[in-house]
Structures are given as C-alpha cells and as structure tokens.
Chain A
Amino acid sequence: MKITRKDVEHVAALAHLELREEEREHMRQQLDDILTYVDKLNQVDTSQVEPMAQVLAPSRADAALRDDAVGPCLPRQQALAAAPDADETFMKVPKVIER
C-alpha cells in the first residue's frame, strides 16, 4: 500500500476538498493504483536521459515568446459577469477567514 488514509486526508485538505467516508477509501485505492503504475515506469533505466518537462522542446531562444505589448482585456462588466458574486467593481467571496 503506497497511499494511506492519512495521505488522502492530507491531500484533500490541501485541495480544500471534503470527502465522505466511502470516498476516502475510493480515492485511496485510485491514487494507490496510479502510483503503482508509476513505479512500473520507474523500472526503465533513465539515468542517461535528460528529464523532460515539456513534450514540445523549443529548438531556439525566443521560440514561444510574445512582445511586451498591451492587448485588449475583458471589459470589466464581462469579467465580473463570470463571478458567482460581484458588484459593478469587484468580485466578492465569503469573508476570508485565516485558517
């Protein structure tokens, strides 16, 4: 067993997720399966291979950069419309409680 119930609870807390009792075991099992599979991948000898963070490796500098130019933003009304709670100026969230 790679993942314990405690790990699940820790990760869920970091993600601000509340899991029901049966979900905890379900998630534990799934995460455990994933790590078991990763372990299998780890059996391949990669000591001579550069770690890869991206599938698309840029061949030259500047490959995927943009100029420092101000482009159109969202009109505020439209930006705020997507928020569950907003007035005409700000988005609002329930009072942030330091935890």
Chain B
Amino acid sequence: MELTREEIAAVAERKRAAYEAVIGLEVHVQLKTASKIFCGCSTRFGDPPNSNVCPVCLGLPGSLPVLNRQVAELATRTALAINCQVREQSIFARKNYFYPDLPKGYQISQYDRPLAEHGRLEIHVPTGGAGKKTRKKRIDITRLHLEEDAGKSLHEGLPESEAKTYLDFNRCGVPLMEIVSEPDLRTPEEAYAYLTTLKQVLEYIEVSDCDMEKGSLRCDANVSVRPVGTEKFGVKTEVKNLNSFRYLAKALEYEIDRQVALLESGGRIEQETRLWNTQAGRTEPMRSKEHAHDYRYFPEPDLLPLVMDAAWVEDIRRAMPELPAAKEARFVEHYGLSDYDAEVLTANRALADYFEATAAKAPNAKTAANWIQTELLGALKEAGQEISRSPVPPQALAELLQLVEDGTLSGKMGKTVFEKMFASGKSARAIVAAEKMEQITDAGEIEKLCGEVLAKNADKVEQYKKGKQALFGFFVGQVMKATRGQANPRRVNDTLKKLLG
C-alpha cells in the first residue's frame, strides 16, 4: 500500500516521536586514478561517449582483467584512515545480473573476502538549539570492498529514444570502493554528519574527488523504524539515488515518515528498493526487480587474489597524511583554538593549510583564526570563490594582522583594508600608504585634535561639566569625524577624559 504525501505527513506529525529510525549507509566512492580498475582506458570525466573503451571493459571474449596497483593502494589508504583491518588476501567475485550497461553480464566485485572490515568513524552531530554545540558519536564500518562501475544508459533525448536505449561505456570499469556502515545511525542528521565526515576524510587523504555531481561519490541508505525502547529491527528498505547532500536528509526524513505512517495505518513494510525522486520529493518503489535478484556470486576466475602484505600496508600507513580528527585536536592543543574554531578550520585541507600558513606569520593564532572565519570566509562565500584561489594569500593576511596588532590600524580600519585587499589583491601596506590610512596614535597630535574639538564646542563642554555625561560620546565622535576614523579610539577616550578632567 502506498500512502500519499499528505497522508504520510498527517500521521507522522503525531506519531514520529514514538519511533526510532535505524539507518545504515552504503557509499560508493570513485578512486582517483588515471586508468580504469582492470584495463588501461582513461577514467577522465566528460570525454566523448564510448571513446575510453577496450576489449576488457567491453567484456569482449578472450580479454583478461589485470588489477590497477593504484586502486589497491588508495583503497588500503582509505581502509586504514577509517580504522579498518586490511585482509592480507582478498578475492574478487562475480556478481551476476543482466543490464545493458554491464556488458559482461556480471560485475567484478568483492563478496565474502573483501579488502577490509571492522572500521569506525567518529562523527560530530549538532545537538540543536542555540549555539554551535555538537556531540560525538562512533559509527562502526562493516566493510570496504573494491568493484568496477557500470556504463551509462541514456533513455531519453536521442533520435531513437522512443524505441531504443543508448549506451556509453566510458564509465564501465571505473574503479569504485564501496564503504558500508553498520546500522548505527539513528537520525537523518546523523546520516548527514557521517557522510560529511567520511567525505572529509576521503578528501584529506586524496583518494577521490568526492564530486557528487560527477558521480564520484554516491550514497544508498538502508532504513527501518522501530518503536522507541525496542531492540528488534523493523523491516528495512533500501533507498537509492541519494546523490546530493541537500537531498540526503530530506529523503531519509520522508522514508522514515512513510514507514511510521504505514505501520500506524495498519500496513506492512515491504523489503524493497526505493528510489528518491527529487522532483516529486518522495521515495518510490523501484519497478525493476533487477536488484532484488539472487546474484549468484562466485570467485572471479580471471583474477588472482589481491595480496596486501604487512610491508606494503605499513608503507601506506607511514605515508598517511594527518587526518582531520588529529588535525583538529592539534589545532586546539597547539594554537589554543576552541573546539568549534578547530572544527571549522579543519573542514577541509586547503582551509587548514591556509590557517597554518597565516598563523605562522601572524602575531596571534587565535586572532588569525577569527579573521579567517569571519572576514575571509565571508568574503569568499560572497564572491563564490574557493579558498585555494583567495585573492588574499596567507602572508598578506598575516601582514595585515601585524599592522592591527602594532596599532598602525584600528580593528575597524583593518577590516576596511581587508576589503580593499580582497577586491584589489594589493598588500595591506600598499593600501595603507596609498590611502594614508595610518591610525593616528601620536599623543601630542591627538591632544591637539581633542583640544580643537572642545574649543569649538564650548557650550557643550559647559553642559557636560554640569552633569550631562552623555555628551562624552559626542566629543569622541567629533574627534573621530575630524580624523576620518583614523585616530586611535582608546587614546582619544583617555585624552578627552584628561582634558575634561
């Protein structure tokens, strides 16, 4: 029985709180290689259709697959980064099913002896409410295995699309790893946090572009619900097509509500595969039973077992770059940043590197962290620019911070200078010199300026002395106005207090 969106919303609204969701994610990641997993064809995205194909990836008779060494290396690096045990000998298996985008009639994958198992990943889940608090949660990872991608079927928009399906085999044989989590996720937010953290790790260790739009990161979810307080898992569905972060949480929310509403209406959950339909904003049963089939896995006779011996694994472990969690802890420890600042600044490697390069030259790491988070990230976001192409490089920002620190510029002037730097690519010193923006800090000059303001406003000085304290701000304002904001505000304050004594 399929309930309508409205029926689901009406029931779920009342009953949602009585259920708990159980979610596991299967994430397919394209490994960053030049050639395919079992042949020398290029993996380049966007090449003309069927231009990167050969007898191996087309499954022509007599051809033999040979595993790409880099695939083994990148997948093992990932396995270690997510704390998996790497199997010394893993084997490939044939997963048999028929679909035109799979020319051999089977996909080479791994089955009962995958490359790696028993991993874990720590995620930060927002606790909601005010502030930026998060809680930590450990998500276990069942397995990581290797497989080849299928080709692409084009069902529409070509001359004979009415009667034919068109096939492009460029993707066929592109190396993938599938990372399967345990059903440890309980909410769409946790699933989102898990995918975010996983993607962050994959980008840090440079094993994949993780570009969901180009299909190099894809996500399916296993979803079930159970009454709060019970242990037994409900019947699960597999939701496919969760191919953007934007829709992941939406699709899961919908599917959870659908299951709750179905159970509350006396229905039964079918174990089935459902597709997220972005336009309709709902999950729909997949008409094809293709994937519910019995895949009749058996060991791939054309490939040797993959041997990852201890020495090789150790080499890979030694070459591992610093992982986000370690970097975050180091930022707190070494630079004295708050947990939140460290989390923001380690969101990706380019940003973390930018911060460290700035902090190395800046007078104060915490100030550098603040300026990067508010001024720089704000300006980049507004300009739609990546940090790697920031018009203000780290040394330039550090120089600006130095000028603020030594009092040449007030904080406010510093922000103005930053905007000019961002717009023009010029250095802080050049802008200060060209625009004569230097802050006035000379005591004699400030006293002279203050004296002039007070002399010009003798009536107000009179009122002030009779008790109209609020006029103090007016005097400060007049001095700042006379200097176009360039007088050091603290010194102006002190001087005026002295003169009004």
Contact = CB atoms under 8 A, between A and B. Distances in A.
Interface of A: 10, 14-16, 53-54, 56-58, 60-74, 76, 79-80, 82, 85, 87, 89-96, 98-99
Contacts of B100: 93, 96
Interface string B36-78: 0001111000001111111100101000001111111000000
A57 B305 contact: yes
10 closest pairs, A vs B, by CB?
A: A71-B40, A68-B70, A53-B299, A90-B166, A65-B69, A98-B288, A98-B287, A61-B309, A92-B164, A61-B307
Interface stretch (B134-142, B154-162, B356-364, B460-468): B154-162
Interface stretch (B225-233, B290-298, B434-442): B290-298
B308 interface: yes
Contacts of B50: 76, 79-80, 89-91
A53 B58 CA distance: 24
Contacts of A53: 91, 113, 299, 305
B80 interface: no
A90 B307 contact: no
A87 B167 CA distance: 11
A90 B307 CA distance: 38
Contacts, number: 143
Given A70-B41, A90-B50, A90-B154, A99 B290 contact: yes
Given A79-B54, A79-B169, A98-B286, 9 more contacts: A57-B304, A61-B311, A62-B307, A68-B35, A74-B58, A91-B167, A94-B164, A95-B165, A96-B155
A59 B142 CA distance: 28
A17 to B, nearest CB: 10
B34 interface: yes
B98 interface: yes
Given A65-B66, A66-B40, A66-B68, A91 B169 contact: yes
A1 B287 CA distance: 35
Contacts of A16: 98
Contact of B301 (A54, A79, A91, A94): A54
Interface of B: 33-35, 39-42, 48-55, 58, 60, 66-72, 91, 96, 98-100, 113, 153-155, 158-160, 162-169, 286-290, 293-294, 296, 299, 301, 303-305, 307-309, 311-312
B125 to A, nearest CB: 37
Nearest to B57: A73
A99 B288 contact: yes
Contact of B153 (A57, A80, A96, A99): A96
28 contacts: A14-B294, A54-B304, A61-B308, A61-B312, A63-B307, A64-B303, A64-B304, A66-B67, A68-B68, A68-B71, A70-B35, A70-B42, A71-B40, A72-B54, A73-B40, A73-B42, A73-B52, A74-B53, A79-B58, A85-B164, A90-B158, A91-B166, A91-B169, A92-B165, A94-B165, A95-B162, A99-B287, A99-B290
A69 B155 CA distance: 33
A66 B56 CA distance: 14
A54 B42 contact: no
Query: Which of A16, A58, A65, A73 is the most central at the interface, judged by chain B CB atoms within 10 Å of its CB?
Result: A73
B164 A64 contact: no
A95 B49 contact: no
Nearest to A87: B159
A73 B54 contact: yes
Given A92-B164, A95-B163, A96-B153, A74 B54 contact: yes
Contacts of A95: 155, 162-165
Contacts of B96: 14
Contacts of B60: 82
